[in-house]
């Protein structure tokens, strides 16, 4: 296995990072809404949020991706497979992130919120200054592992014809007849990306902890 | 609806049923072996020499840091490649899709289960182990009477989650043509040009299996709650 082949894998990993990065961000935005729905006191909204999370956490991502891929054209949306893949990944990760956020918000100690109330903070100020920062601090490790999970799962978009690291590895493996070194190299590239993400996660945790007991 | 039900009879029905059974076999054996190996890894890392701990930690990190699909490709296509490059057909291990699937699931599961058990070992308060020694329990009794029951309670929820994750990963095995549920339903969906329908039904079946597994897990948790210790 030559350096040129390895370089092709590294280049393709840029697309993997792009697709998973975009999906994580879109997923986080969706997750904030779903989390708010789940924590809402309106019964129907809360149950809707829970159903959404249960469905996307209860079905294989491979099937979600294929479903989105075939469903979009059927309802008249002819989007490229890359967009379909990003939609599928975003929907899936939004459910996991929503569940993580819900756990975080629910473990913010009640005493903190009562204290904020006593100090005369408005509901908004109490959310922005107390609930949000504490919840973010509590959920950062879990959000980092979810980002790593999604990066790994993004390899599944290769089955709907999207070009990224795994697709490239598969093509190279069949054109060079060297599956073992090429898939091992692809695994190595994933591992390096994930170690970097984990490192950033730890940095973010440390930054969030600064100034807190 | 009648047309949907017609798939459940005759040849199609038999294929779907065999796919469902294969999925369950892969799931049960994969997560069973994964849990056993995971436990052994956790024990070896805790009680074994430092070197073994490092080697196992590195292996676990590699498995947890790479996609399941890439691992499966490596297992499935790597064996024949080794044969060709070594030039000796008898000396190499070539796995059929099903074997590669079981092996892949067990290895992937073992890495994650071992981390759960490791966290479980660490979460047991030292005082409980010291108390067991003080009242005269030997090492084996401490393990079977104190550590394991407490740990079961601690790791049960995350073990159920992990087992559910492995069920969902079995669908990935259809990519290397393991004849499990998704593979069989795919064939019918392709033949009748009914992709959305077949994937919707697949999603619902997996969802049901996951919810059943989650409910069983919660029931087990309730039954075992007598082992729960008070958190200080």
pLDDT digits (tens, 9 = 90+) for B6-52: 777 778 888 889 999 999 999 999 999 999 999 999 999 988 899 99
Backbone angles phi, psi at A68, to 5 degrees: -60, -45
Using 50, 70 and 90 to split pLDDT, how confident is the model at A210? confident
Nearest to A67 among B80, B174, B200 (CB): B200
pLDDT of residue B80: 76
Q: How far is B74 from chain A (nearest CA, A)?
A: 6
For chain A, how big is the Rg over CA atoms in Å? 20
Lowest mean pLDDT among A67-81, A130-144, A159-173, B87-101: B87-101
Interface membership of A55 toward B (CB under 8 Å): yes
Residues 6+ positions from A173 with CB-CB distance below 8 Å:
A179, A182, A183, B73, B77
Chain B residues whose beta carbon lies within 8 Å of the beta carbon of residue A148: 65
Are A58 and B211 inside 8 Å of each other by CB?
Answer: yes
What integer is the mean pLDDT of A38-61?
Answer: 93
Distance, C-alpha B4 to centroid of its chain = 32
The yes-or-no verdict on residue B232 having pLDDT over 50 is: no
Q: Which residues in chain B (177-216) have CB-CB distances under 8 A to chain A?
A: 182, 195-196, 199-200, 202-203, 206-207, 210-211
Using 50, 70 and 90 to split pLDDT, how confident is the model at B228? low
What integer is the mean pLDDT of B191-202?
Answer: 89
Would you tell me how many other CB atoms lie within 10 Å of the CB of residue A199? 11
Contact status, residue B109 vs residue B115, Cβ threshold 8 Å: no
Are A180 and B74 inside 8 Å of each other by CB?
Answer: yes
CATH, range B24-227: 1.10.3720.10
Nearest CA in chain B to A183: B74
DSSP secondary structure string for all residues of A7-64: HHHHHHHHHHHHHHHHHHHHHHHHHHHHHHHHH-S-HHHHHHHHHHHHHHHHS-HHHH
Could you tell me the domains of chain A? 3-209 (1.10.3720.10)
Interface membership of A208 toward B (CB under 8 Å): no
Would you tell me how many other CB atoms lie within 10 Å of the CB of residue B148? 15
Higher pLDDT, B79 or A128: A128
pLDDT tens figures, A67-92: 999 999 888 888 899 999 999 999 99
Using 50, 70 and 90 to split pLDDT, how confident is the model at A206? confident
Are B169 and A166 inside 8 Å of each other by CB?
Answer: no
Contact status, residue B15 vs residue B89, Cβ threshold 8 Å: no
Interface membership of B82 toward A (CB under 8 Å): yes
Contact status, residue B188 vs residue B198, Cβ threshold 8 Å: yes
What integer is the mean pLDDT of B190-201?
Answer: 89
Q: Which residues in chain A (148-187) have CB-CB distances under 8 A to chain B?
A: 148, 152-156, 158-159, 166, 169-170, 173, 177-180, 183-184, 186-187
Positive or negative: CA dihedral A44, A45, A49, A52: positive
CA–CA separation, B98 and B30 (whole Å):
11
Are A187 and B210 inside 8 Å of each other by CB?
Answer: no
DSSP secondary structure string for all residues of A124-179: HHHIIIIIHHHHHHHHHHHHHHHHHHHHHHGGGGGGGT--SHHHHHHHHHHHHT-H
Q: How far is A106 from chain B (nearest CA, A)?
A: 18
Chain A residues whose beta carbon lies within 8 Å of the beta carbon of residue B195: 66, 70
């Amino acid at each position: 296995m030559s350096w040129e082949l390895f370089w092709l894998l590294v280049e393709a990993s840029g697309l993997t990072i792009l697709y998973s990065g975009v999906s994580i961000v879109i997923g986080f935005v969706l997750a904030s809404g779903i989390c708010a729905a789940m924590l809402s006191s309106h019964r129907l909204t809360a149950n809707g949020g829970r159903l959404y999370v249960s469905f996307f956490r209860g079905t294989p991502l491979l099937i979600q991706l294929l479903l989105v891929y075939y469903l979009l054209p059927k309802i008249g949306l002819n989007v490229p497979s890359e967009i379909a893949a990003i939609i599928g990944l975003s929907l899936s990760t939004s459910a996991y992130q929503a569940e993580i956020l819900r756990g975080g918000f629910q473990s913010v100690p009640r005493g903190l919120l009562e204290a904020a109330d006593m100090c005369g903070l408005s509901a908004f100020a109490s959310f922005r200054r107390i609930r949000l920062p504490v919840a973010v601090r509590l959920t950062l490790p879990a959000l980092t592992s979810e980002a790593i999970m999604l990066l790994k799962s993004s390899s599944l978009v290769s089955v709907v014809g999207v070009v990224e690291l795994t697709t490239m590895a598969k093509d190279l493996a069949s054109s060079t007849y060297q599956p073992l070194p090429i898939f091992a190299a692809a695994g190595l590239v994933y591992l390096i990306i994930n170690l970097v993400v984990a490192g950033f996660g730890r940095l973010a945790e440390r930054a969030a902890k600064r100034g807190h007991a | 609806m009648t047309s949907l039900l017609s798939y459940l009879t005759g040849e199609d029905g038999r294929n779907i049923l065999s796919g469902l059974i294969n999925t369950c076999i892969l799931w049960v054996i994969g997560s069973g072996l994964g849990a056993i190996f995971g436990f052994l890894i956790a024990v070896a890392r805790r009680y074994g020499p430092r070197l073994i701990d490092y080697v196992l930690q590195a292996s676990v990190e590699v498995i947890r840091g790479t996609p399941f699909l890439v691992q499966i490709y490596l297992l499935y296509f790597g064996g024949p490649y080794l044969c060709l490059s070594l030039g000796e057909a008898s000396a190499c291990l070539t796995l059929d899709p099903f074997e590669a699937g079981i092996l892949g699931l067990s290895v992937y599961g073992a890495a994650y289960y071992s981390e759960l058990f490791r966290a479980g070992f660490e979460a047991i308060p030292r005082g409980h182990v010291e108390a067991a020694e003080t009242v005269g329990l030997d090492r084996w009794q401490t393990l079977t009477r104190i550590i394991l029951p407490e740990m079961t309670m601690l790791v049960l929820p995350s073990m159920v989650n992990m087992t559910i994750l492995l069920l969902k990963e079995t669908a990935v095995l259809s990519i290397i043509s393991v004849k499990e549920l998704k593979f069989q339903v795919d064939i019918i969906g392709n033949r009748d040009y009914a992709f959305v329908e077949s994937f919707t039904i697949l999603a619902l079946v997996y969802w049901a299996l996951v919810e059943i597994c989650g409910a069983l897990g919660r029931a087990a948790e309730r039954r075992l709650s007598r082992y729960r210790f008070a958190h200080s």
